[in-house]
Copies of this chain bind each other. A is one copy, B any other.
Amino acid sequence: MSSIISLDTIKSCLSKCADSDLIQIIEDGFVSYSKGDVVVPPVGHLPFINPPGDLHIEYGFIKGDDYYVVKLASGFYNNPQIGLSASNGLMLVFNQKTGELLSILLDEGHLTDIRTALAGAVVAKHLAPAQINRIGIVGTGIQARLQLRFLKSVIDCRDVIVWGRGDEKLNDYKKDPMLAGFDISTTQNITELTNHCNYIVTTTPSKKPLLLAKEVKPGTHITAVGADTPGKQELEASLFGKASCIIADSISQCKDHGDIFHPVHQGIIKEDQIIELGTLISTGQKRKNDSDISIADLTGVAIQDIQIAKFVYQKTKA
């Protein structure tokens, strides 16, 4: 009989796990992905018209593993007007040997948020500058919060500037109990981040560059999480030309619809300059010099869903 796991149970399960364990499963997933050990078909997409929205279906498995996973994640952008979350969804864990349904994780999009933030922590583990002066967060939403929350166990620095477009959102961010322990100041002027922060995470759905090439200082690392569909862009394309280390969670996805699309399309960088995150991890590559600019582009890969869903299933079964 398959188990049905509620959002509360999922949250309770995750709260009992060490961050390092969660980060490790996502890291292991990226390594398997870049080695070609993962079968992940193209994402299924169902667009809704009235009201506007969309459904994404991501699915796949690690070859030889016991499980396969299907994730359904929807966005209905008018939902907040009627007091509902825009994001919704669930994950399904199946037996890879028999096709039997093992578990339904009614995560309502939460596990996608978590696995996306965990990828940011994986990047920090391998690419953070030796000395971080200050962390800069671009955006004030759920991903802006979770990215910082999971950096806690990877980065010692607790000094943070968050950039946003309004006082209320910035104050809400600052007061989030999830971020207790960080010393957070706020700004609506993004050059405050580029001037003072050498570790920056961008988390917005912006369609215009927020971080400009001339403003980013040598020695800065940037993790760009926001651009996940065609048309979005958080980093100026020419900024990639200044970077000595360019990482993609999935090269094929990032050049298609990540922030990396723009510099590749404009000929500023070549595809062979991009290193896939799983390859970076398995080859043990690091930033070479303190003055390097490094950029990691994260578009989200189904292997993250596979790993987090399997993990929660196994933990709640145990």
Contacts and interface: CB of A to CB of B under 8 A. Distances in A.
Contacts of A70: 55, 57, 72
A92 B72 contact: yes
9 contacts: A39-B46, A44-B57, A48-B61, A49-B63, A55-B99, A57-B59, A76-B98, A79-B98, A82-B98
A252 to B, nearest CB: 17
A41 B50 contact: no
Interface string A60-81: 1101100010101011100100
A302 to B, nearest CB: 10
A162 interface: no
Contacts of A89: 99
Interface string A88-129: 111010101111110010100000000000000000000000
Given A4-B104, A48-B68, A55-B68, 14 more contacts: A4-B4, A39-B47, A41-B44, A44-B57, A44-B59, A48-B61, A48-B96, A50-B64, A53-B99, A55-B99, A75-B99, A76-B99, A82-B98, A104-B104
Interface of A: 2, 4, 39, 41, 44-51, 53, 55, 57, 59-61, 63-64, 68, 70, 72, 74-76, 79, 82, 84, 88-90, 92, 94, 96-101, 104, 106
Nearest to A39: B46
Contact of A57 (B53, B57, B101): B57
A4 to B, nearest CB: 6
A75 B94 CA distance: 13
A242 to B, nearest CB: 40
| A-B interface, 10 closest residue pairs, ranked by CB to CB distance from nearest | A74-B99, A88-B99, A76-B99, A44-B44, A76-B98, A46-B59, A84-B98, A41-B46, A79-B98, A53-B99
